[in-house]
Amino acid sequence: MTMPLVSIIIPCYNVAGFMKKCLDTVCAQTLRDIEIICINDGSTDGTPDILREYEAADERIRIIDQPNAGVAAARNAGLDVACGKYIGFADPDDYVSPVMFQRLYLAAEQYGAELVCMGATIAGDMPLSVRWSMLNGLQCPEWHCSHYDFASMGTFSELCWDKLYRADFLKKTGLRFREGMRQGSDALFNNLLHPYVRNIVKIPDCLYIYRPTRPDSLVNVYKAPDKKGSGFYPALERVDLIAAAYRELGCLEKARITVLNWLNGSIQLFSSNLLRQTAAEKEEALDAVRALLDKYGWREFAQSPESPFRLLKHIACGHDFRVRCALFGLYRFLHSRAGNKLVELCTRIINLRGSSR
């Protein structure tokens, strides 16, 4: 058996209502020399029957059955058996453009890249159908770098389905998806990959269609509160694991701004959930942030005028979290809905409140 050009790994758990569209679009790829690895992660609905139906119709499909162990374990199981020169991923409740893997493959081959990144399209019932590239939220021309340094040049997205990885490069890093994480194993995986990448290509194409329709989708996780602030603590854990790994690799100080940006962004994403918690729970959450800053000696910098992270600065200084988050939410709303004058007014209010403490 010859090596396929691309191995496409699809972790599957109770997705009978979405599975066919995903497989239809993956099987219809214009790049024909692929293998499609579907991991049935202990599904209890009609997912296994759909997988068998497609396996019988397309010899490129391989099915791995395993007891339910989570998406990270399923992806690792796919990595263990993948034979392709490159590795790609898809989630079973999403679908892809028919040219997606050909476009990624050709870019990788053209530049000898270890990693190719692209954009995606958000579909489904959302206030706005957002089309974006993973390059800091902007469409941009194709870009290649053979001497990539994430700490000084910026990072790529935390997702795994908007990328193509060269298989021998992944094997050399020894990285795996961290099993047992409730969410964010792909974010941790890609952030830990940053220091190893040297040859990277970014293309402007938005060829993956992400459907935030399931309760555990990224968008819905951010919205769904629980008594511990939903994904807030797992997000802090990810930042901690990333910082520890960077420290071991000797690049933590160089990457300080990058890591603090992730921490600040995590707080912003989950701040609306935290605002709904009790005073004691909110204080516990803020103490966890301060403990993380202290662990890596970052609190003094976070409090300093040099720190670009306003929200993180307020937390480090002990400023009132409810006022800060409420004003930050208002700032974001005004920025998207109103003109610069209202945005400037909101900013002045924030600064005024800060100077009075």
pLDDT at 216: 53
Specify if 79 maps to a domain.
yes
Specify if 122 maps to a domain.
yes
Of 185, 219, 253, the residue at which a domain comes to its end is: 219
- Residue 215's pLDDT band, with cuts at 50, 70 and 90, is low
Specify if 237 maps to a domain.
yes
pLDDT at 127: 39
CB 37 within 8 A of CB 23: no
CATH number for the domain that contains residue 42: 3.90.550.10
Nearest Cα to 324, choosing from 281, 265, 271?
Answer: 271
Same domain, 85 and 209: yes
pLDDT at 210 over 70: yes
Mean pLDDT of all residues in 70-92: 97
Same domain, 96 and 180: yes
pLDDT at 350: 47
- Residue 235's pLDDT band, with cuts at 50, 70 and 90, is confident
Strand 131-132 to strand 115-122: parallel, antiparallel, or no bridges (unpaired)?
antiparallel
Same domain, 224 and 117: no
Same domain, 258 and 315: yes
pLDDT at 158: 85
* Tens-digit pLDDT profile for residues 115-159: 999 988 877 654 333 443 433 333 456 788 888 888 767 777 889
- Residue 311, both tokens: 């929200």
Same domain, 113 and 144: yes
Domain count, the chain: 2
pLDDT at 125: 52
Specify if 71 maps to a domain.
yes
Specify if 351 maps to a domain.
yes
pLDDT at 222: 38
pLDDT at 341: 55
Of 91-95, 150-154, 263-267, 315-319, the poorest mean pLDDT is in 150-154
Strand 61-66 to strand 34-41: parallel, antiparallel, or no bridges (unpaired)?
parallel
Of 199, 219, 239, the residue at which a domain comes to its end is: 219
Give me the residue label for tokens 């989708």: 217
Of 219, 248, 269, the residue at which a domain comes to its end is: 219
* Tens-digit pLDDT profile for residues 31-75: 999 999 999 999 999 999 999 999 999 999 999 999 999 999 999
Same domain, 181 and 39: yes
Specify if 70 maps to a domain.
yes
Same domain, 93 and 209: yes
Specify if 1 maps to a domain.
no
Same domain, 211 and 124: yes
Range of the domain at 224: 220-355
pLDDT at 315: 85
Same domain, 52 and 150: yes
User: SS in 3 state form for the chain?
Assistant: CCCCCEEEEEEECCCHHHHHHHHHHHHCCCCCCEEEEEEEECCCCCHHHHHHHHHHHCCCEEEEEECCCCHHHHHHHHHHHCCCCEEEECCCCCEECCCHHHHHHHHHHHHCCCEEEEEEEECCCCCCCCEECCECCECCCCEEECCCCHHHHCCCCCCCCCEEEEHHHHHHHCCCCCCCCCCCHHHHHHHHHHHHCCCEEEEEEEEEEECCCCCCCHHHHHHCCCCCCCCHHHHHHHHHHHHHHHHHHCCCCCCHHHHHHHHHHHHHHHHHHHHCCCHHHHHHHHHHHHHHHHHCCCHHHHHCCCCCCHHHHHHHHCCCHHHHHHHHHHHHHHHHHCCHHHHHHHHHHHHHHHHCC
Q: What percent of the chain has pLDDT over 70?
A: 78
- Residue 223's pLDDT band, with cuts at 50, 70 and 90, is very low
pLDDT at 92: 95
pLDDT at 338: 53
pLDDT at 175 over 50: yes
Same domain, 199 and 236: no
pLDDT at 78: 98
Specify if 255 maps to a domain.
yes
Collapsing DSSP to helix, strand or coil, 87 comes out as strand
Same domain, 140 and 181: yes
Same domain, 187 and 292: no
* Tens-digit pLDDT profile for residues 275-333: 677 878 888 888 999 999 999 999 999 999 888 988 888 888 887 655 455 445 545 55
